């Protein structure tokens, strides 16, 4: 049997297809992974509020949310990293001045700008609505894990990176809807790679014993950290080039086949 491994799975485009559906092959493989004694973690860009219980019912030892800013192990919050207040206020002012569509992720809810509701397609709003609140609602500005923004003529990813790259981590988003390109902003040094390293230290496991699967830009640091980093066949081409291996498409059993390839199921 393969020695005990620590496995990290992105959700959208990796564990699930873009309709939020976990293929039966992936569900069965994930359960087999834990049955074989390995540790299995979700590592998602989603906030905790939008990491659905139906997905978690698959069975995991812990979850990483908001792109590495929030970690739960066995249902207990063990780590959180929030945007510094001074940086957050700069970000809010920057996007408000440009009439931008953006949202702020707290563990328990997401605060969305008015422009977000007019910008987002109905299908996305139906998926997100339960955990979203309007920007006018009071919220704790000391507990914002991440900011997500949509690109426009006034807001380009490259410009945001130039303005905030020295103080923050920036990644392109992974919303698979035309016209929904944008980015994610978190505190400096906070990303899925840093969270994976934190979890590995928690268990006293070596980096070489970690395996990570992802499909988009915010998975890059995690795949680079892991002993084996696997990009999904449906993933970003740049991520595939940076990965150690490329799995099949999420909708064609790619995750299950890769887990089998590495002797984890």
pLDDT in tens, the chain (265 residues): 678 999 999 999 999 987 788 999 999 999 999 999 999 999 999 999 889 888 999 999 999 999 999 999 999 999 999 999 999 999 999 999 999 999 999 999 889 888 876 655 555 555 555 556 667 667 999 999 999 999 999 999 999 999 999 999 999 986 655 456 789 999 999 999 999 999 999 999 999 999 999 999 999 999 999 999 999 999 999 999 999 999 999 999 999 999 999 999 9
φ/ψ of residue 40, rounded to 5 = -125, 125
φ/ψ of residue 197, rounded to 5 = -65, -40
Domain ranges of the chain: 6-81+190-261, 85-187
pTM here is 0.92
The CATH class, in words, for 6-81+190-261 is alpha beta
107, 145 Cβ separation under 8 angstroms: yes
List all residues 6 or more positions away from 29 whose beta carbon is below 8 Å from its beta carbon: 255, 256, 259, 260, 264, 265
Pick the CATH number of 85-187 from 3.40.50.720, 3.30.420.10, 3.40.630.40, 3.30.1240.10: 3.30.1240.10
């Amino acid at each position: 049997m393969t020695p005990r491994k620590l496995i990290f799975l992105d959700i959208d485009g990796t564990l699930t297809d873009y309709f939020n559906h976990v293929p039966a092959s992936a569900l069965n493989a994930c359960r087999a992974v834990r049955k074989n004694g390995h540790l299995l973690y979700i590592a998602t860009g989603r906030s905790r509020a939008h990491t659905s219980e139906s997905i978690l019912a698959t069975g995991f030892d812990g979850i990483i949310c908001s792109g590495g800013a929030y970690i739960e192990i066995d249902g207990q919050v063990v780590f959180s990293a929030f945007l510094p207040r001074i940086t957050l206020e700069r970000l809010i002012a920057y996007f408000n001045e440009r009439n931008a569509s953006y949202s702020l992720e707290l563990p328990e809810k997401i605060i969305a700008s008015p422009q977000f509701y007019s910008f987002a397609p109905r299908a996305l709003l139906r998926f997100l609505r339960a955990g979203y609140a309007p920007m006018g609602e009071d919220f704790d500005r000391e507990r914002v894990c991440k900011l997500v923004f949509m690109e426009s003529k006034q807001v380009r990813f490259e410009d945001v990176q130039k303005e905030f790259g020295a103080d923050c981590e920036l990644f392109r988003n992974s919303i698979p809807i035309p016209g929904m390109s944008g980015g994610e902003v978190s505190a400096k040094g906070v990303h899925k790679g840093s969270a994976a390293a934190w979890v590995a230290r928690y268990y006293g496991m070596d980096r070489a014993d970690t395996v990570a699967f992802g499909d988009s830009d915010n998975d890059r640091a995690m795949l680079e950290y892991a002993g084996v980093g696997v990009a999904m066949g449906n993933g970003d081409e740049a991520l595939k080039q940076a990965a150690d291996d490329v799995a099949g498409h999420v909708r064609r059993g790619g995750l299950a086949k890769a887990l089998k390839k590495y002797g984890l199921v």
